[in-house]
Structure formats: structure tokens, C-alpha cells
């Protein structure tokens, strides 16, 4: 008797070929996650078509309507049905999937949208008649004549009506509309020569424009700077440093903000590869590493960085959404980002962001007691001689004068003729001349066109910290040998990952050696850290390597020690400083890079322009 095999079901699964409609709906789940994804695909197609003006209309967060109108090259009537077929594209011929110079190339977006919504494409090529094709739920109708002056209009209605389950995962109309706005803004940053208009037409009618960026003129950096000011904000543009560096055929350019213009979350970090907006863990990690020594852990840098390289050096075909990339040599790209940003930050010297002054003026400006505008009392500007006398009266130390504009009362006959005193040139320097100290912590300095308030402790702390780092870089980091080397048991994969960066760790004073199997032995630790828990530090390093592909645990601990040493060795709050000491501190700040912020990213000084001060007192 033959015993039946209990592991084989009587109803065996049958392999069958899915129809095109099902295939397109499955593909749509990867390409079109939400309305913003549909907008991204359609706008990228418009950019590839050579458009100079792109208008996007949405309704109900893009759920009921997405319409993209462009003035590009258009699509011929004969090619419209082919454009709605899977893997049909004009961008590549299929012979080389690495040499890609366009946004789109997979040929999946339009058929996927037609499979899950009601899609209408109206297009006209130059010197040809306009044509229109309609597809709903994957069913395409015949091409018919249409009326259109130039370019292409793609209208998508009732997104996901063919897959109702997807509608349950949609967020509110407001959240979806915000996601679309963010998508359009990212694309607008990369294309300053194109005019973008986003309009919300919910409820019918003309609707309202929620975002507009007109075409920018000028060279690359002028146009980009103007576009970033319009998209990210003028404060970012005012406090951003220009970046332009090249290494091994890879160019990095764009703008990165000063450390004192930082954000509480990574919401102002925009990265582009060959004009394509991407979200790449390696690139964001490199950005964070560049600002590592200037921001505290709870602050994030702001930047818009563009990487241009030969398309064969980067793979953009990692995911159907094309938001992830993979570089052939990621180490070169990472090193380029870190070195270029740190060089720009060093060249910025003591510069601090203008938002610090704006916040100061906002805090100082009193609330009006009455809704009526206050009267403005105009006063004559003092003469040059009066200003010279006033400057002498404000000399360091606030010494009382016995002549000119002194408060002392003397007989006219006893008054001496005012001596001609040449204005000290120190006042024309960036941080000016010290005029006094208040609350034994803040230095007041006068500049050529305003005043500067310096936090003496924070400023000196940064100066000492930079000196300690320079000394350590010149002399190296001393390592202390462990009397009993510590053995840490790890998996073979973790051990291999750790030994791959063993040389870099040894330069920081942490010496590791393999100990057979998955174990490693810790022989030396950085002397400056004193007694450390070697196993805990190794596990922290592994966590960072797994999450970011790099580890800064040891460096962070060393620099934290240096920061504490600098704090204890700097001028303390509450100490009264002499005039020459205050001026010496100002001159050293001007000569030291990164002195505009303390070791935790806070500003060390505030600069107020004379015009702002006069406006504060109603004298403008």
C-alpha cells in the first residue's frame, strides 16, 4: 500500500500569467505611493521634455485631480498609445542602463497611473495637430483629435479609484497637499531656469497659488542662490556659504548654512545627484560629519548640495521611485562633501548668522502700548568733531574726561583746548573696538557701522578649544596601553566590520587586534579619556557603523574632553576684564576660524547695525 504524502496538498497551486492590468496595478504600488509620487513623475517628465514653464494644479490633496501642464516638445499622436505601454520610453534605447541623462527611463509611470486612476494625456508637437488619449483603470480608448497650442497636459483624476484599499492609507488632504508642495519645491531647486507654479483648485474655480518660482537669470550660482532664497527662505540665503569643489571627476556645488543657522530637525537638508532629488543615508551622514564639531547632537545643519558626475559613476536604478542612488566609489563622494564643507566653514572665520541679530532686535523691541503709531522724533546727526569727542569719551575703561563732552563742571578759563586725537584704526576691524563690559560677562564693542555684543566666556572657550585641537593634530593623540588587554566577543560579521576601520581608530588612540573567531582584543585606548569601558565603546562604534556606515564615537569622546578642558581653561563669567584684554580677545576671534559659535553651536557674539538700532528707537 502506498502511503500518501501529507506535505503535498490535493489542491496544488497553479502558476499563471497575470494580465497587464494586474501587472500595472502592482507596479503602481512601487512607483506611485501617494499623490506626491504621481506629481514627481509627471513633473520630471515635463522637465525631460525641455519645458521652460510647468504648472501643476491639484484638488483635495491630489486625490481627485492632478494636472501638469508644460510647454515642452510634446508627444505625437502615433506615440500616445505607446507612451501608456509598460517599459516604453523615449529616454533610453536599453543598451546601457548606466549612462542615463534623464529623470525618467523605466517607462512605468504613465501606465501605472493609468492603471489606478483616470488618466488623460493631451499633447501637441511643433507643426503637428494636437491629440488626446484617455485610459481608466488600465482600459485605453482610441486616440482622438484635441485642441492645444503647445506642449503637453497630463490630467489624472480619482487616483487609486481602481485600488480602493490604497485610499484607506491616504492621509488628510492638507498633509497630502503639503507633501506635493515639498516635492515641487525640491524639483524647483534643481531647475532654476524653469518657472514652476503650483495651484490648489479644490472646490473649483481658479483656486489659489500655493507656490510659485519664476525663472531665475544669471550664472549658475546667482540663479541657484536666488532660487534657494525663494524656495527655502531669504534667511537661509543670507547665512549660506557657497560650495564649489571637484575631486576625481565629481563636482560638489551649492550652499550650506553657517552652524549658528541650524535647525531642530533635518528638515532643511536637500541633496541632489545629477539634478535628481535623492534621500541617501551616506550623503546625509557625510553632511552630518562635516558639521560634527560645530553643532550639538540635537541640532541639524541646513544645506542644498548638488553632486554632478558621469552617469556611469552612479546607479540610479536601485529603486523604482529613483530616490535612492548607489555610487561606484562612495568614499570619494563622502570625502569630497566633508572636506569641501569644512573648508568653507573655516573660510567663514568668525562670521555668525544674521538671524542672531534679528532675534536680538525682536527681543529688544517693546510691544506697542497703543494701536496708534508712536511719534517719531528726528534728531540731527552729530558733526564729525562731536563724534570724535564722543568716541574719546567712550574709550576703553570709560575714564572720566575733564574736557569736551565730559559731565564734569569746570570753569571755562580752566578748560584746555581739545587735543587732536586720531581715531584708532581698530574700530574699522570686523569686531570693532571694545568700549566696555557689562555684568562682567558681555563685552560691548563699537564697529564702523554698528556695535557688537560678545559673550566673553563662550568666545574664549571656542578659542581655547581650537588651540587644543590644533595641538592634538600636530602632536597626535597619545594612547595608553592596557595593563590587561580586554577581549570582546563579537559575531564574525561585526568583527570584520570593526577591523575594516581599525586603522582609523588607531589614529585616535584606540588599538584593536583580531583574537580569533569573532573576538577582538583592545590593547590601547586614548589616554585623554582616562579609564573607559572598552566593551561599551566597541558596541557603540558597531551601532554607528551599522546605522551610518562610519563611527565618530571615539572622536566625539575625545573632543568632548577637549571641550570640557577648554571650558575650564577659558575666561570665566563674572571676571572683570581690562580694555586691552577685551580688545585682544576680539582680535583673536577675528583670526580664529569657527569663533562665531561656541563648542555647542550657539553664537558667541551678536552684531547690530546702526540702522537697526536707530529703527529700534524710532529714529529711522
**DSSP 8-state secondary structure symbol assigned to residue 561:** H
CATH class for domain 20-213?
Answer: alpha beta
**DSSP 8-state secondary structure symbol assigned to residue 252:** E
User: What is the phi/psi pair of residue 481, to 5°?
Assistant: -75, 135
Confidence (pLDDT) at 497? 84
Span of 58-62, 80-84, 304-308 with lowest mean pLDDT: 80-84
DSSP H helices in 191-290: 220-231, 234-238, 281-290
* Strand 131-136 with 118-124, pairing: antiparallel
CATH architecture assignment, domain 220-348: 2-Layer Sandwich (3.30)
pLDDT reading at 366 higher than 90 = no
What would the pLDDT profile of 304-320 be if each residue is shown by its tens digit? 999 999 888 888 766 65
Measure the CA–CA gap between 253 and 337, rounded to whole angstroms: 9
pLDDT reading at 401 higher than 70 = no
User: What is the phi/psi pair of residue 154, to 5°?
Assistant: -110, 120
- What are the residues whose beta carbons fall under 8 Å from the beta carbon of 441, sequence distance 6 or more? 455, 456, 457, 573, 574
Measure the CA–CA gap between 155 and 158, rounded to whole angstroms: 10
- Among 336, 267, 353, residue whose Cα is nearest residue 302: 267
Confidence (pLDDT) at 29? 55
Measure the CA–CA gap between 268 and 421, rounded to whole angstroms: 51
Q: Which helix (H) or strand (E) is 539 found in, with range? A: helix 534-548
For residue 617, give the C-alpha cell.
528707537
For residue 590, give the C-alpha cell.
577675528
Instruction: Give me the residue spans of the domains in the chain.
Output: 20-213, 220-348, 429-620
What would the pLDDT profile of 267-288 be if each residue is shown by its tens digit? 889 999 998 898 888 898 889 8
pLDDT reading at 415 higher than 50 = no
* Strand 118-124 with 151-157, pairing: antiparallel
pLDDT reading at 113 higher than 80 = yes
- The sign of the CA dihedral 200, 178, 159, 45 is positive
Instruction: Give the residue carrying C-alpha cell 531669504.
Output: 234
**DSSP 8-state secondary structure symbol assigned to residue 424:** P
Confidence (pLDDT) at 362? 58
pLDDT reading at 402 higher than 70 = no
pLDDT reading at 90 higher than 70 = no
Measure the CA–CA gap between 40 and 34, rounded to whole angstroms: 10
CA of 533: how far to CAs of 23, 327, 483, 530, 537, in Å?
55, 36, 14, 10, 6
Residue 203, SS3 per DSSP: coil
Buried b (16+ CB within 10 A) or exposed e, 245-259: eeeeebebbbbbbbb
Asked if 295 and 301 count as a contact pair (C-beta separation under 8 A), the reply is yes
Measure the CA–CA gap between 334 and 282, rounded to whole angstroms: 7
**DSSP 8-state secondary structure symbol assigned to residue 342:** H
DSSP β-bridge partners for residue 451: 446, 608
For residue 589, give the C-alpha cell.
576671534
Half-sphere exposure of 106 (CA within 13 A, CB side): 19
Asked if 28 and 116 count as a contact pair (C-beta separation under 8 A), the reply is yes
Q: Which helix (H) or strand (E) is 304 found in, with range? A: strand 303-308
Q: How confident is the model at residue 40 (pLDDT cuts 50, 70, 90)?
A: very high
Confidence (pLDDT) at 373? 46
CA of 241: how far to CAs of 246, 302, 335, in Å?
16, 11, 18
For residue 11, give the C-alpha cell.
489542491
For residue 214, give the C-alpha cell.
519664476
Torsion of CA 168, 173, 178, 181, to 10 degrees: 100
What would the pLDDT profile of 548-565 be if each residue is shown by its tens digit? 666 666 666 676 666 666
Confidence (pLDDT) at 105? 55
CA of 396: how far to CAs of 153, 349, 580, 589, in Å?
70, 25, 8, 18
Per CATH, the number for 429-620 is: 3.30.1540.20
SS (H, E, C) 39-90: HHHHHHHHHHCCCCEEEEEEEHHHCCEEEEEECCCCCCHHHHHHHCCCCCCC
- What are the residues whose beta carbons fall under 8 Å from the beta carbon of 502, sequence distance 6 or more? 512, 513
% of the chain exceeding 90 in pLDDT? 25
Neighbour count for residue 583 (Cβ, 10 Å): 21
User: What is the phi/psi pair of residue 459, to 5°?
Assistant: -65, -50
- Among 469, 404, 428, 432, residue whose Cα is nearest residue 589: 432
For residue 393, give the C-alpha cell.
569719551
Provide the mean pLDDT of the chain: 79
Asked if 614 and 271 count as a contact pair (C-beta separation under 8 A), the reply is no
Asked if 332 and 248 count as a contact pair (C-beta separation under 8 A), the reply is yes
Measure the CA–CA gap between 466 and 285, rounded to whole angstroms: 24
Span of 75-84, 119-128, 401-410 with lowest mean pLDDT: 401-410
Confidence (pLDDT) at 215? 95
What would the pLDDT profile of 142-163 be if each residue is shown by its tens digit? 999 999 999 999 999 998 888 8
Residue range 475-494: average pLDDT?
85
Tell if the pTM clears 0.75, that is, is over it: no
- Among 610, 595, 608, residue whose Cα is nearest residue 358: 608
Amino acid at each position: 500500500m502506498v502511503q500518501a504524502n501529507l506535505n503535498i496538498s490535493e489542491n496544488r497551486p497553479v502558476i499563471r500569467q497575470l494580465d497587464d492590468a494586474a501587472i500595472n496595478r502592482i507596479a503602481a504600488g512601487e512607483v506611485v505611493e501617494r499623490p506626491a509620487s504621481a506629481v514627481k513623475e509627471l513633473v520630471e517628465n515635463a522637465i525631460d521634455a525641455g519645458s521652460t514653464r510647468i504648472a501643476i494644479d491639484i484638488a483635495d490633496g491630489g486625490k481627485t485631480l492632478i494636472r501638469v501642464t508644460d510647454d515642452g516638445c510634446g508627444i505625437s499622436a502615433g506615440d500616445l498609445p505607446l507612451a501608456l505601454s509598460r517599459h516604453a520610453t523615449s529616454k533610453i534605447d536599453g543598451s546601457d542602463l548606466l549612462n542615463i541623462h534623464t529623470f525618467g527611463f523605466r517607462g512605468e509611470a504613465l501606465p501605472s497611473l493609468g492603471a489606478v486612476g483616470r488618466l488623460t494625456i493631451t499633447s501637441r508637437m511643433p507643426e503637428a495637430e494636437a491629440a488626446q488619449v484617455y485610459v481608466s483603470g488600465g482600459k485605453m480608448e482610441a486616440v482622438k483629435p484635441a485642441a492645444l497650442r503647445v506642449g503637453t497636459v497630463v490630467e489624472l483624476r480619482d487616483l487609486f479609484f481602481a485600488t480602493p484599499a490604497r485610499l484607506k492609507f491616504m492621509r488628510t488632504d492638507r498633509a497630502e497637499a503639503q507633501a506635493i508642495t515639498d516635492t515641487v519645491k525640491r524639483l524647483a531647486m534643481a531647475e532654476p531656469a524653469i518657472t514652476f507654479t503650483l495651484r490648489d483648485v479644490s472646490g473649483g474655480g481658479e483656486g489659489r497659488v500655493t507656490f510659485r518660482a519664476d525663472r531665475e537669470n544669471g550664472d549658475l550660482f546667482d540663479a541657484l542662490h536666488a532660487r534657494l532664497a525663494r524656495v527655502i527662505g531669504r534667511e537661509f540665503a543670507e547665512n549660506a556659504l557657497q560650495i564649489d569643489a571637484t575631486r576625481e571627476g565629481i563636482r560638489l556645488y551649492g550652499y550650506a548654512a553657517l552652524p549658528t543657522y541650524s535647525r531642530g530637525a533635518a528638515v532643511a537638508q536637500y541633496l541632489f545627484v545629477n539634478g535628481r532629488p535623492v534621500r541617501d543615508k551616506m550623503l546625509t551622514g557625510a553632511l552630518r560629519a562635516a558639521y560634527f564639531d560645530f553643532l550639538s547632537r540635537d541640532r541639524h545643519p541646513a544645506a542644498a548640495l548638488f553632486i554632478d558626475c558621469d552617469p556611469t559613476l552612479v546607479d540610479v536604478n536601485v529603486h523604482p521611485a529613483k530616490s535612492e542612488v548607489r555610487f561606484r566609489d562612495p568614499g570619494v563622494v563622502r570625502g569630497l562633501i566633508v572636506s569641501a564643507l569644512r573648508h568653507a566653514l573655516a573660510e567663514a572665520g568668525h562670521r555668525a548668522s544674521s538671524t542672531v541679530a534679528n532675534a536680538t532686535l525682536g527681543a529688544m523691541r517693546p510691544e506697542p502700548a497703543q494701536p496708534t503709531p508712536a511719534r517719531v522724533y528726528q534728531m540731527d546727526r552729530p558733526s564729525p568733531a562731536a563724534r570724535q569727542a564722543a568716541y574719546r569719551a567712550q574709550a576703553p575703561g570709560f575714564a572720566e574726561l575733564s574736557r569736551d563732552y565730559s559731565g564734569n563742571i569746570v570753569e571755562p578759563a580752566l578748560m584746555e583746548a581739545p587735543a587732536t586725537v586720531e581715531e584708532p584704526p581698530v574700530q574699522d576691524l570686523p569686531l570693532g573696538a571694545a568700549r566696555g563690559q557689562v555684568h562682567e560677562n558681555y563685552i560691548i564693542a563699537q564697529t564702523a557701522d554698528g556695535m557688537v555684543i560678545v559673550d566673553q566666556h563662550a568666545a574664549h572657550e571656542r578659542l581655547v578649544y581650537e588651540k587644543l585641537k590644533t595641538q592634538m593634530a600636530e602632536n597626535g593623540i597619545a594612547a595608553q596601553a592596557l595593563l590587561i588587554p580586554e577581549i570582546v566577543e563579537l559575531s564574525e560579521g561585526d568583527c570584520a566590520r570593526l577591523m575594516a576601520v581599525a586603522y582609523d581608530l588607531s589614529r585616535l588612540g584606540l588599538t584593536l587586534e583580531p583574537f580569533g573567531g569573532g573576538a577582538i582584543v583592545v590593547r590601547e585606548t586614548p589616554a585623554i579619556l582616562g579609564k573607559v569601558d572598552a566593551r561599551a565603546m566597541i558596541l557603540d562604534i558597531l551601532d554607528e557603523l551599522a546605522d551610518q556606515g562610519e563611527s565618530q564615537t571615539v572622536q566625539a569622546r575625545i573632543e568632548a574632553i577637549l571641550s570640557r578642558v577648554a571650558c575650564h581653561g577659558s575666561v570665566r563669567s563674572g571676571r572683570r576684564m581690562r580694555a586691552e584684554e577685551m580688545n585682544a580677545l576680539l582680535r583673536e576671534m577675528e583670526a580664529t576660524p569657527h569663533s562665531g559659535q561656541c563648542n555647542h553651536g550657539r553664537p558667541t557674539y551678536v552684531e547690530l547695525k546702526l540702522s537697526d538700532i536707530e529703527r529700534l528707537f524710532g529714529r529711522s
